[in-house]
Amino acid sequence: MTKTITSLFHSGQHAATAASRLEQAGIPRSNIDIWSAPINLAPLLEDAGVSRADAHAYAEGVRYGGSVIIVTCADEEADRVVRILDDEGRLDLEEHQAASRSEEGEETGFDEAVSELTRVGHGRARIQPGAENRPA
């Protein structure tokens, strides 16, 4: 069985660095997608098993400058993939939200997307069963 793992990063450069580390760990590049444009991202994530609310929150994060990595891997690789994404600077949503509020005094744009992701519980890389494993 396969898993789909999603993670939001501050920028495309952060996501590219994480993707490079995944490749060094043996994850095929064909199993790693980086999204830096929100066009069709939410429906793609929903098809991969991400809830509608979560998928739209990720798309909002991308709309405001972030990048999403989507990794498809075998079940036994999922924990290692999550560790790599977490180690390589995936967006710590709660920390980013707190820092933005203290600096700006209010939330705007990217921080609103971060707030939505935090509200639905995405403090870490997210694992979903592979779409091909979900009942039709």
95-114: per-residue pLDDT in tens? 443 444 455 555 445 555 55
Report if residue 136 sits inside a domain: no
Report if residue 76 sits inside a domain: yes
Please say if the pLDDT value at position 5 is more than 80: yes
Q: What range does the domain containing 100 cover?
A: 2-131
Report if residue 16 sits inside a domain: yes
Report if residue 17 sits inside a domain: yes
Residues 41-77: tens digit of each pLDDT:
999 999 988 888 888 888 888 888 889 999 999 999 9
CA atoms within 13 A on the CB side of 56: 6
Sign of the C-alpha dihedral computed for residues 56, 57, 59 and 64 taken in this order: positive
- Which residue did the predictor score with more confidence, 105 or 29? 29
Report if residue 65 sits inside a domain: yes
Locate 17 and state its tokens: 């660095």
Rg (CA), the chain: 14
- Give which of 4, 3, 5, 8 is closest to 116, Cα–Cα: 8
Report if residue 52 sits inside a domain: yes
Total domain count, the chain: 1
pTM of the model: 0.71
Report if residue 39 sits inside a domain: yes
